[in-house]
Structure formats: structure tokens, C-alpha cells
Amino acid sequence: MRSTYMAKTAEIERKWLLIDAQGKTLGRLASEVATLLRGKHKPIYTPNVDTGDHVVIVNADKVVVTGNKAQDKMYYSYSGYPGGLRAVNFATLMEKRPDQAVYLAVKGMLPHNKLGRAMLKKLRVYAGPEHEQTAQQPEKWELRG
């Protein structure tokens, strides 16, 4: 009888992947990045173990959305105090912090638990073409579609 393979944390080899977000659709980019962070592209994928790779996203300021999402898509933050609800639309967020829009899109597609927070630490998003992970020699990853 065969036993199911379960990945162990010590045995996982993590790669560094570089993704250029220029001209890519936000949701499609975020879903593939979430897959890479979870490790679902690997044959050793185990749901309860962080088997994913490190992902570096550059040119986050050049990501696009379809339809009227630039004006209609809202991001909310609540301080916990009365009247403390802040709302900003996608266009304004892209002007001020374009890396935050991509970061939040990927965050929403990861598990909302301790494991998801560990996966999110392996994501680095940069608004421009330069990044600080040159020493890790990330390999370029082409998105599907």
C-alpha cells in the first residue's frame, strides 16, 4: 500500500522568482503569485506546509484593471474608533502607493490564517523596475495567459 507524501519544512527548497507586472491584469497576476507563494506549482505541495517560493514583483505601478474598476474598486481600513473608516479608490491608491494595490490583491488570495501570513512574508513588491533582491539572483517567471 502506498502512503501519501507529506512535505517536511526542512526538506523544502525555495527559489526566488522575478515577475514583471507591466501591462498585466491585477487579478490574474495576483492569483498566479498566490499559487507560487503557496507552492501549488510544485509536485511536493502539501496544504498544511508552506512549500512556496519567494516572489519579487517589479513595475507594480504599471498593472492594469479592466472596466470601471479604477474608479469603482474601493479599499477600506477601519481604525476601530467611531468615524474611523477610511476609503480610497483604486486610482488614488495607484497614485500614492502602487505596490500596496498588488500586495493587497495577493493577500486576499492567500489563506487567512497563520500559514497565510507566513506565505505573505515571502512576497516583495516594488513600484518601479529596480528591486533589492539582486543578491538572491531571482529567475524570471513568465505568467500564463
pLDDT number for residue 67 = 95
8 A C-beta contact, residue 18 and residue 139: yes
pLDDT number for residue 5 = 87
Cell, residue 49? 506546509
pLDDT number for residue 2 = 80
- Identify the structural domains of the chain with CATH numbers, from first to last: 15-65+94-130 (3.90.1180.10)
Nearest to 21 by CA among 66, 56, 59, 54: 59
Instruction: Express each pLDDT in 110-139 by its tens digit.
Output: 999 999 999 999 999 999 999 999 999 999
pLDDT number for residue 138 = 95
Instruction: Express each pLDDT in 10-56 by its tens digit.
Output: 999 999 999 999 999 999 999 999 999 999 999 999 999 999 999 99
Whether residue 1 has pLDDT greater than 70: yes
Residue with cell 501591462: 23
Whether residue 145 has pLDDT greater than 80: no
- The contacts of residue 35 (CB under 8 Å, 6+ apart) are 41
Instruction: Express each pLDDT in 65-108 by its tens digit.
Output: 999 999 999 999 999 999 999 999 999 999 999 999 999 999 99
